[in-house]
Amino acid sequence: MSTKKTVGIVVAVIGVILIAIGGFSLNDIAVAEQQAQALGGLFGGAGNDLLGGLGLDAALEAQKNKAYGFIVFGIAAIVGGVYMLKTATEENTKAA
């Protein structure tokens, strides 16, 4: 197995891991949003104002952007890994 092929496999696996991290992060963010809504409903309008004043909405939005970044970089890593595998296979067939 050539070095380029090995690197392609490693890069693709890293991409899958990044997508998993992003997905789990989005799930955690959804749970946190549900808990914040429940807390806001418990105290009425004052609870929503309190959570907004603490910056919870901004923090959740920042975490969403971070999770989407993980997913995008994961997809890019998978595409790059597959491309490296494809070019490594083409080089092997040309050499033979």
Structure letter (DSSP) for residue 51: H
Q: What is the pLDDT of residue 51?
A: 67
Tokens 């070019």 — which residue? 87
Quick one: average pLDDT of 7-16?
93
Q: Which two tokens stand for residue 39?
A: 């807390």
27-36 pLDDT, tens digit each: 999 998 888 7
Hey, where are the domains in the chain?
3-91
41-88 pLDDT, tens digit each: 766 666 666 666 677 788 888 999 999 999 999 999 999 999 998 888
Structure letter (DSSP) for residue 96: -
- Strands (E) in the chain, as ranges, are none
